[in-house]
Amino acid sequence: MKQLTLMISALLLFALLSCTFGNTHRNKEQLSQEIPPDKSNARNSLDYLGTYFGVLPCADCEGISTTIQLLPDQNYVLSYLYKGKEPRNFFEQRGTWSWEDDNTTITLDNREKPNQYKVVENALIHLDKNGKIITGELAEHYRLKKEQTE
């Protein structure tokens, strides 16, 4: 009699646990189907227009003071000041910029490679000639910070 009661209790416990785990799995599947994927990207969720500044590394000078101004009409103004290089150490370039298909990278037209920047919160990251983020000990020097306007 005790064995029968023990066996019935074990079966009931197993049945209850099976129902609970089955519903949890089904609920997770339903939730993943109901929640739309996050489609936010730099293009539609960041305030990317404005002026960015930083000092890029330079092989034969003290650094390249770089300013990029991204304008609403998709034009840009890019200026370089080669520190410690005289004369003719200042260059300015104007052109248009466009979004890449990933909506996180912009390309500056009228410019030789590397001419791409990854748009992140309050910064542009200068990419290498293959469109990849530069890594290593100088990586942080390839970040141009957005000038805050009040």
pLDDT in tens, the chain (150 residues): 666 565 666 556 566 556 555 555 556 666 556 666 667 777 777 889 999 999 999 999 999 999 999 999 999 999 999 998 888 899 999 999 999 999 999 999 977 778 999 999 999 999 999 999 999 999 999 999 999 876
- Sign (positive/negative) of CA torsion 120, 125, 131, 132? negative
Domain count, the chain: 2
Answer yes or no: do 29 and 72 share one domain: no
In terms of residue numbers, what domain contains 9?
1-35
Answer yes or no: do 54 and 85 share one domain: yes
Please tell me the pTM assigned to this model: 0.71
How many residues does this entry show for the chain? 150
Cα(45)–Cα(43) distance, rounded to whole angstroms? 6
